[in-house]
Structure 1
Amino acid sequence: MKAIDVEAQLQVLMQGTEYGDAQLAAKMRAELRERLLLGRPLRVYCGYDPTATDLHLGHTITMRKLRQFQELGHEVTFLIGSYTALVGDPSDKNRARPVLTEEQVNENARSYSEQAFRVLDREKTVVRANGEWLSKLSLVELIRLAQNFTVQQFLVRDNFAKRMQNGDPIFLHETFYALMQGYDACAMQTDVQVGGTDQLFNIIVAGRKLQEALGQRPQVGIITGILPGTDGVLRMSKSTGNHIPVATTAEDMYGKLMSVPDAALNVYMRLVTRWSPAAVQRMEEQIASGALHPRDGKMQLAHEITEVFYGADGAAQGQAHFERVFQRRELPDDMPVLAVVAGTKLVDFVVAEGLVPTKSEARRLIKQGGIKLGGVAVADTEMLLQLGEATVIQVGKRKFARLMP
């Protein structure tokens, strides 16, 4: 492999990485260069604990990085944390995760994998589950692995330290997680592990230390940045309501991407798109110089990301829908038709039809003028539906339906 090829790969693979420490970043970059100079495909993986079925764009950041490794000819393993999910990763949690059953994990894994293949190349992806090796560990083997760590190493972690300060419990099984994840790297003898910043301890400390203890060359950690949600500030999360689901519609994804603040565009460009570092830099410079309006740059971004998940036709449909509804203020052509029984409470109706997840959310939207009938904002949270003719209901910015009496 030529040195110029290695430098080109480094530029792509290190884009969007975030270590929180310049020395660690330089060390990982140097070690990755050494591995690439070997001239063989690297063994790369990322582990995913299927604790839920619904993914959002934030979950796909590491998948995008794996796809980059695939496109550069490296061997990628999509590791399902069938065993680690039974424990639950405490890395970004201030309280213990609920323990899942094996049946729940298996069901979630099926949904997770299918959504992941919207990003990954199915033909170039090896799918494994860490139950293959973790289920075979004896108690003696587990104790020997644990001898490589101290209790203090776990307690200084930010989330555990906060629990200690607050007097919240830290359960013993939670300390097993980093050890289990670290052993994944040993079992597969990996060169590279990809993960978010919340996985820094598990990858850099646990994984590398166990590999070294077992006579393997410590893996390179590729640590990706965290994607902010549609508010542009908080980490994307379903619980905060600022997420963009993967399993949605092209129109919804495009519209939500257009709602992302201009200040967050560069993060989305670096973490979610297929654009090269040079292309990202070029767009940033065009926006900064005024040669490209941020709105137009955002439309290119929304089209690119929507195309990743829904193809060129889906991206075109999403853009056309956005231009029609939000720029020209026209009603969408493909509204669902919903029958209304006279006297039905509006709050009950929008929840029953799936337009709003909960009644409390429906009431909040009404108070904020976020639900409209015939283009007029509803003000009464106790309103009863009495329709004399067909009427269009709008919920939020992107949901429309035609109501029939």
Structure 2
Amino acid sequence: MNSIMDQLTEEQRKEMERQYAVYTHGTSQVIPGDELKHKIATSIFKNKPLKVKLGLDPSAPDVHVGHTVVLNKLRQFQENGHIIQLIIGDFTGKIGDPTGKSTARVQLTDEEVKRNAGTYLEQFGKVLDQSKVELHYNAAWLSELKFEDVIELAGKITVARLLERDDFENRMKANKPVSLHEFFYPLMQGYDSVHLESDIELGGNDQYFNVLMGRHLQEQFGKEKQVVLMMPLLEGLDGIEKMSKSKGNYIGITEKPSEMYGKAMSIPDELVVKYTELITDLSLEEKLTVRKEIEQEEIHPRTAKMNLAKTIVRMFHGENASEKAEVEFQQIFQQKQLPTDIEEVIWDGDRMVTVPTLIAKLGMLPSTSEARRMVKNGGIKLNEVKVTEVNEEIEVKNGLVIQVGKRKFKKIKLA
């Protein structure tokens, strides 16, 4: 391994160390680090880009900033001229990743896979330069395998190794069924790396077993083994559980600038550094500066959080939108003013309604029962006046401003 290293010029060695520092920063594990250095060195010496893989099962296409942890790492490779291999699991997606599941996943149809894949790619374009991405659908090679090829593939791994997965082990202990086809999910994902001869694969910590399978199978097929970069999972706005749309603790990458900014301002202070390092496009030097300023108390936590919120909005909506979102946030929360661009909605319903009914029909909360709870908790205002009576009817007028919580506003226009 040292032969390439020995042939690097001083300038090339510095470039190798620079790239290595960028790629490893924020990772939870690099398997193994010395091989990553060697791959980078070889790439620089031979002027040959690395092939960096990310596999995606198109099962839940609404992307939030938690998903961008791996995308931002891919972007760092892309900025240095390396090849990004995005693999849409149109074949594996029909089985579904069993990771973290207590039961077998519902298999997706071709139409569902295609629709979800399209949504993924549209949203990923907000982080990656799609013109410089190799897009692959793994049905192109997996559907071509003959049965004897599948048997050969299955012979590359033992049942004992597959049963090391906590998901399978826990289900078997609980006497829950494990279908044979589920064992093939990590094999197929690993075979993607064999077919594409990937140099590096990225994955979240929950994908540890799957991404290591690619490294194992490459060795079994006599190919150079990929290096694996494991990325930490991002806690949501509650600071406790993994970011998830189902838990409501997420920042969606297609949300309005004001909504993104407000949500970012609600994260716990102790997560500002982690968010900055994992989901922003700041340089390594800028990220290290943020960490130093916060750890040494050179910056107020609120200021650091406002800088983070502004950066997130700027990444997905541009500089002007981030400036406007910051001003609006200051108006609402610091100066107690209403936002300047409240969404206007047409109301053609009854002129006299209860507030929970109005809130639910406007879609500001999913149900009248949730709206009632919000009223009881003091979270609903009409024209800046807090609503206190759950069942009292109010008159719906032109220009009526409804506020739900701290960030949702709508203004009534009568039909």
In which range does the TM-score fall when normalised by the shorter chain? over 0.9
Q: Take 2:374 and 2:170, find their aligned partners in 1: how far apart are those partners?
A: 35
Using the TM superposition, give the Cα deviation of residue 404 of structure 1 relative to its aligned residue in structure 2, in angstroms. Answer: 4.6
Matched residue, 1:37: 41
**Matched-pair contact (CA < 8 Å) for 2:354–2:392:** yes
Task: Give a deviation string over 1:319-343, Cα, whole Å, max 9, x none.
Answer: 1221111221110111122325223
Q: TM-score, normalised by structure 1?
A: 0.93
Equivalent residue for 1:138?
146
| Residue identity opposite 2:18 in structure 1 | A
Q: Report the alpha carbon displacement of residue 124 of structure 1 after superposing the two structures with TM.
A: 1.2
Are 2:366 and 1:357 equivalent residues in the alignment? yes
Q: Distance in 2 between matches of 1:225 and 1:239?
A: 20
**Structure with the greater alpha carbon radius of gyration:** 2
CA distance 1:118–1:169, change in 2 (3 Å): same
Please list, as runs of the form range in 1=range in 2, the aligned pairs for 1:227-376 lying within 5 A after superposition.
227-338=234-345, 339=347, 341-376=350-385
- Identity across the alignment (%): 39
What is the number of equivalent residue pairs in this alignment?
398
Could you say which residue in structure 2 is the equivalent of 1:28? 32
> How far apart in 1 are the matches of 2:109 and 2:327?
44
1:161 Cα deviation after fit: 2.6
1:122 matched residue in structure 2: 130
User: CA offset at residue 368 of structure 1?
Assistant: 2.3
Q: Determine the structure 2 residue equivalent to 1:22.
A: none
* Secondary structure in 2 matching 1:394: strand
Distance 1:12 1:378, change over 3 A: same
Bigger CA drift: 52-61 or 381-390? Answer: 381-390
Cα distance per residue 1:331-374 (max 9 Å; x no partner): 01111223252233433432332212344433332332222223
Letter aligned with residue 6 of structure 1: M
- Structure 2's unaligned 5+ residue stretches are 1-7
1:63 maps to 71
Q: Residue 98 of structure 2 is aligned with which of 90, 93, 112? A: 90
Distance 1:381 1:316 in 2: 37
The amino acid that maps onto 1:106 is: K
What CA distance in whole angstroms lies between the structure 2 residues aligned with 1:187 and 1:343? 65
* Distance of aligned partners of 1:388 and 1:353 in 2 relative to their CA distance in 1, 3 Å threshold: closer
Q: 2:24 aligns with which of 14, 18, 22?
A: 14
Q: Report whether the alignment pairs 1:393 with 2:402.
A: yes
CA distance in 1, matches of 2:343, 2:283: 39
Q: Give the direction of change, closer, same or farther, for the CA distance of 1:128–1:352 in structure 2 (3 Å limit).
A: farther
Change in CA separation of 1:12 and 1:51 when aligned onto 2, cut-off 3 Å: same
For the residues of structure 1 that align with 2:367 and 2:180, how far apart are their CA atoms? 36
Paired letter, 1:284:
R
Distance 1:98 1:364, change over 3 A: farther
Aligned CA-pair RMSD: 1.8
The CA deviation string for residues 41-73 of structure 1, in whole angstroms up to 9 with x for no partner, is 101110111112311111111111110000011
- Counterpart amino acid of 1:336? E
TM-score of the superposed pair, with normalisation by structure 2 = 0.91
Q: Deviations over 1:155-212 (max 9, x none)?
A: 22222233233333322222211011001101111101111111111111x1111111
Following the alignment from structure 1 to structure 2, what is the Cα–Cα distance between the partners of residues 46 and 177?
15
Q: Map 1:187-202 to 2 at 5 A.
A: 187-202=195-210
**Counterpart residue type for residue 366 of structure 1:** V
Contact in 1 for aligned 2:352/2:396 (Cα 8 Å): no
- Answer with 109-118 or 90-99: which moved more: 90-99
**Number of the residue aligned with 2:14:** 4
Quick one: distance in 2 between partners of 1:379 and 1:157? 52
Secondary structure of the 1:57 match is coil
Give secondary structure in 2 for the equivalent of 1:243: coil
**Alpha carbons of 1:176 and 1:379: their partners in 2 closer, same or farther (altered >3 Å)?**
farther
Mapping for residues 68-79 of structure 1, pairs under 5 Å? 68-79=76-87
Deviation at 1:388, TM superposition (A): 5.7
CA contact (8 A) 2:52 2:198 kept: yes
